[in-house]
Amino acid sequence: MANLITIQKAVNEIKKSIEEAIVNSGTEGKNNLIRSQKPIKLLHEVAKAELVRNGVNPECLNPPLSQSNGELSLSGFFKKKDQDICIVPNALKQKKEILNFQGILYGKEDKYGLDFTEKTLSINVRSQLSSSAKNFDTLYERTFAEALNLHLRCPKMVLGEFYMIAVNEYDSNAANKNEVKYKNVSGVAKHVEKYLLSFEAVNNRKSVTDDHFKYERVCLLIVDFSQKNPKIYNTDEELKKDNLLPENSIATIKNLSFPNFISDLLKVYSTRFGTGKFN
C-alpha cells in the first residue's frame, strides 16, 4: 500500500513532465507527450490505487496496477469498446455469446457475455489540458453516449467517469520558444460553471431502469497547474475564492469531487450486487 500513488503526486508529475517537454522540445514536445498518453496514465494509476485503498483486491483490476496493457473490450448496445479500468469479481466467469440485437454488433461474438459485462465495474478516464472550451460539445456528447451504450444492454452495470480539466492553459506562443507560461483564459469562471452543470447532469444514476445516459458517479477533477504545486479543487468555496466559479452560481462540485469518487462507486456496486465481491 505504501507505494500507491496519490492524486496530488500524480498531478505534480503531470505538471513536471509537460513543463520539461516544453523546455526541451517546445510545443511539439508537449503535444507528443500528451499523445503518448503518459500524463493521463498517471490518472489511471490514481484510480486503481484508490480502489486498492478502499479494499479492492489488486487481482480484480484490469489492467493490473502499474500496467496499461490488459484493457477489457466490453460490448454495449451500439458498439464494443476498450474500458480504461475494469474491476471484475474474482468468482465471475466469462460465457461466450453471439449478440442478437439489431445494430452493427448483430451476429458478433461477445467472449465475455452479458452477465460478466453487467457485473464488471468500469471506470473511464479522460483529460483536457488545452482547448477545453473549443472541444467541449464533442467530448461531452461522447461522454454520455458511452454510458448510454453500456446501460442500454446492461442496465445494472456500475459506471464511473474520471475527467480532469486544467483551468489555466499553457501559452502556445511561449511554448514555441521553449518557455513555460500560462494564459488566463477569458471567462474561465463561466467555463468551469458549464463543466460543473454539464457533468452533474450525467452524475449520480440511482435507477437501474432509467437514466441510462448517466454514470453512477462522475469525478470532475479541476486542477490549476500554474501553481508551483498544482491545486486540486474539491469545494465550491475554493473555486469561488479563486474566481473560478461565479458567486451566485447554482453549479456545485459537491457531488463531483475526487475524495469520495471511488468509495461512492463501490457503495453503489455493493447495493446492486452484494458486498465482498472484490475481496
- Residue 133 confidence (pLDDT): 63
Q: Are strands 159-166 and 121-128 parallel, antiparallel or unpaired?
A: parallel
**Which pLDDT tens digit goes with each residue over 108-161?**
999 999 999 999 999 999 988 776 666 788 888 889 999 999 999 999 999 999
pLDDT at res. 131: 62
Taking the domains of the chain in order of start, what are their residue ranges? Answer: 7-273
Closest residue by Cα to residue 81 from 148, 128, 33: 148
∠ Cα 75 81 87 (to 5°)? 80
Is residue 202 within 8 Å of 143, Cβ to Cβ? yes
Check residues 176 and 3 and name the one with the higher pLDDT.
176
Nearest in space to 167 (alpha carbons), one of 222, 242, 246, 245: 222
What CATH number does the domain located at 7-273 have?
3.40.91
Report the C-alpha gap between 64 and 75 in whole angstroms.
Answer: 21
pLDDT score of 132:
61
Cβ–Cβ < 8 Å for 42, 10 = yes
pTM, whole model, 2 decimals? 0.93
Tell me the three cell numbers of residue 172. 502556445
